[in-house]
């Protein structure tokens, strides 16, 4: 897989970010479509029907998060397995925390200021939308020390998401990356590392880390080009369809739909494990199907991928403030359906615009600064070491 072809991975990341954003709009404004609770219906029973069908794939946030995890496992390790250069592992490992942290602390600071100004309207909005999830967010009185402690430490080690509900994934992203770094440093050149892979798969089978391990295995396989990486068109289309079907498994499934009852009988797993397997199968198929690679290389998907981290961090904050405020105001003047549609369209455009600005002025510049600083420190260290050797 040449560098020019890697853009499709960015495209998948962009689509995943949009699905996560859509999932939170559904949870907030049409919770019945997510929780499958008839008491939460706003318009018709069709909301529950969608949630119980493969159509829920378009807003299945769990599946999208696990796509992120599999992609992280692949992208973090791909270059190492291509070059077998452990300096690459060191470089990414040293920069990883700062790469994730800077955009997080910026958005958490914004949340802190908004909370202090009482600009979150999620509590009142939750009473209208029936979303218990929305009502539970941002219900505490924050302190600056609390915000800094949580943002700089707890988010990455404990998964604390008090300031931004999407930050629960940061612990898995951060610690998952270091599991991979450790593997590459110790076993990356080991001839029989497949034995270690099997051990890791067994250890982490019931954990989110399974997605990272699977992503790393795919990066390894695709570089050594062994028969283990299946290339047949039919088998990969089967993997793609199977992955998408498992990805559509309702997160809060309560039974009663034959196609998903069959999945329960065969796999006997919870929805999260099923979604992880779906994400693994889907990424596997994309890596082997050129038509899917071309599809996700579309410039729209690729651009969404570029701003995906910003979309991920911003969208729930926007929903808790502006979107929530709008449903409170609009619902008194028009139907719930019309209010929700207007808010949805306005919010999507606004979130994408804000994400583009954040990516341009915070995310990308900070990433470049981190790389530049790391390279400068390494260069100085090499020069210092060389001079020391010359004096000796």
Instruction: Note the pLDDT tens digit of each residue in 341-373.
Output: 999 999 999 999 999 999 999 999 999 999 999
pLDDT grade for 222, boundaries at 50, 70 and 90? confident
Checking if the pLDDT of 253 tops 50, the result is: yes
Is residue 32 situated within a structural domain?
yes
pLDDT of residue 228: 46
Is residue 15 situated within a structural domain?
yes
pLDDT of residue 227: 46
pLDDT grade for 4, boundaries at 50, 70 and 90? very low
pLDDT of residue 382: 53
What is the rounded CA–CA span in Å between residue 301 and residue 205?
Answer: 31
What is the rounded CA–CA span in Å between residue 246 and residue 62?
Answer: 12
Checking if the pLDDT of 188 tops 70, the result is: yes
Give the number of domains in the chain: 1
What average pLDDT does range 217-233 have in this prediction?
75
Q: pLDDT: is 45 or 224 the higher one?
A: 45
CB atoms within 10 A of CB 58: 14
Percent of the chain with pLDDT over 70: 93
pLDDT of residue 225: 62
> Which of 75-93 are b and which e, b meaning 16 or more Cβ less than 10 Å from the residue's Cβ?
bbbbbbbbeeeeebbebbb
Instruction: Note the pLDDT tens digit of each residue in 282-293.
Output: 999 999 999 999
Is residue 368 situated within a structural domain?
no
What is the rounded CA–CA span in Å between residue 276 and residue 67?
Answer: 8
Is residue 175 situated within a structural domain?
yes
pLDDT of residue 264: 87
Percent of the chain with pLDDT over 90: 83
Is residue 70 situated within a structural domain?
yes
Checking if the pLDDT of 177 tops 70, the result is: yes
Is residue 262 situated within a structural domain?
yes
Instruction: Note the pLDDT tens digit of each residue in 64-90.
Output: 999 999 999 999 999 999 888 888 899
Is residue 213 situated within a structural domain?
yes
Q: pLDDT: is 234 or 325 the higher one?
A: 325
pLDDT of residue 146: 97
**Count of positions (residues) in the chain:** 392
Is residue 286 situated within a structural domain?
yes
Range of the domain at 314: 3-361
Beta-carbon contacts of 283 under 8 Å, excluding residues fewer than 6 positions away, are 12, 67, 70, 71, 74, 215, 218, 243
pTM attached to this predicted model: 0.93
């Amino acid at each position: 897989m040449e560098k020019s072809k890697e853009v499709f991975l960015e495209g998948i990341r962009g689509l995943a970010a949009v699905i996560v954003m859509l999932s939170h709009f559904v949870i907030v404004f049409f919770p019945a479509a997510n929780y499958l609770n008839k008491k939460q219906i706003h318009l018709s029973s069709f909301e529950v029907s969608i949630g119980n069908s493969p159509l829920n794939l378009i807003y299945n946030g769990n599946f999208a998060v696990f796509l992120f995890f599999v992609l992280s496992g692949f992208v973090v390790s791909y270059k190492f397995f291509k070059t077998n250069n452990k300096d690459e592992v060191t470089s990414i490992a040293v920069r990883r925390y700062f790469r994730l942290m800077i955009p997080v602390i910026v958005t958490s600071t914004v949340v802190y200021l908004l909370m202090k100004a009482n600009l979150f309207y999620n509590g009142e909005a939750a009473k209208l939308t029936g979303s218990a999830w929305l009502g539970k967010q941002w219900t505490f009185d924050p302190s600056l020390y609390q915000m800094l402690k949580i943002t700089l430490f707890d988010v990455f080690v404990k998964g604390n998401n008090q300031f931004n509900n999407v930050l629960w994934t940061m612990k898995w992203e951060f610690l998952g990356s270091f599991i991979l770094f450790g593997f590459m440093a110790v076993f990356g050149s080991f001839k029989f590392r497949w034995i270690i892979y099997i051990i890791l798969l067994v250890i982490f089978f019931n954990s989110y880390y399974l997605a990272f391990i699977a992503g790393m295995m795919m990066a390894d396989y695709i570089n050594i080009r062994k028969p283990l990486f299946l290339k047949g068109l039919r088998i990969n289309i089967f993997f793609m369809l199977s992955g998408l079907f498992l990805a559509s498994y309702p997160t809060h499934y309560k039974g009663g739909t034959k196609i998903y009852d069959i999945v329960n009988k065969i796999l006997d797993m919870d929805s999260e494990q099923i979604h992880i397997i779906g994400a693994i199968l889907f990424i596997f198929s994309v890596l082997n199907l050129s038509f899917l690679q071309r599809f996700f290389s579309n410039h729209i998907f690729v651009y969404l991928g570029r701003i995906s981290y910003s979309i991920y961090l911003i969208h729930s904050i926007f929903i808790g403030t502006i979107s929530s405020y709008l449903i409170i105001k609009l619902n008194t003047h028009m139907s719930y359906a019309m209010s929700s549609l207007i808010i949805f369209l306005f919010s999507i455009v606004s979130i994408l615009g804000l994400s583009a600005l954040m990516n341009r002025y915070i995310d990308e510049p900070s990433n470049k600064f981190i790389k530049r600083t790391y390279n400068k420190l390494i260069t100085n260290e090499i020069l210092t070491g060389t001079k020391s050797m010359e004096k000796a």
